Amino acid sequence: MSWTRRWHRAGSSLLLIASGMQLALHWQLYVAVDGFDAPRRTLMAAMQAYELYGPLGTSMWTALGFFSLAYAALLALFGTSHWILAREADVRTLRRHALRNTVLLVGLTLAAAALHPLPQGLAVLGLATLLFGLAAVPRPGDV
């Protein structure tokens, strides 16, 4: 397996693993609410009381739950599509995709670090940036 394929597949694997972790966390924080302690129940009630869009019954709680689930789904979608790309694309095309991913991930990581620094999210973004960056670097004899 070529250098580019190996690192592109590693980046894809990271996205898939992060998706599974986010899905488990989503279950724990938004679905399995029976295990919440009193402060969490109070916070959940306050977020449910904060209405964002009345006709659909959208509260702050449902919006955050949606974004949590959508994040897990997007990580799974991108991880799967990049895994398939790493398997089927020629190395030159794969390297271009890895470079584009790296540029976008650098911007996203810097914006997240400045605006909403969450250690777990920054770790996933930073590591994905590194892995796709390694896939973008041409190596002699990489075919």
The answer to whether residue 66 scores a pLDDT higher than 70 is yes
For 76, the enclosing helix (H) or strand (E) is: helix 60-88
pTM higher than 0.95: no
The structural domains of the chain, with segments of one domain joined by +, span: 3-136
pLDDT in the model for residue 143: 64
pLDDT of residue 140: 79
If residue 51 lies in a helix (H) or strand (E), which one and from where to where? strand 51-53
Predicted confidence (pLDDT) per residue in 98-127, tens digit: 999 999 999 999 999 999 999 999 999 999
Residue type, 3: W
Q: Judge contact between 8 and 94, C-beta under 8 A.
A: yes
Q: Using one digit for the tens of pLDDT, what is the confidence trace for 3-40?
A: 999 999 999 999 999 999 999 999 998 888 888 889 98
- Residue 35: the pLDDT is 84
In this prediction, residues 74-102 reach a mean pLDDT of 95
Average pLDDT along the chain: 93
pLDDT band at 65 (very low <50, low <70, confident <90, very high): very high
Give the residue-averaged pLDDT of 57-67: 93
pLDDT of residue 54: 86
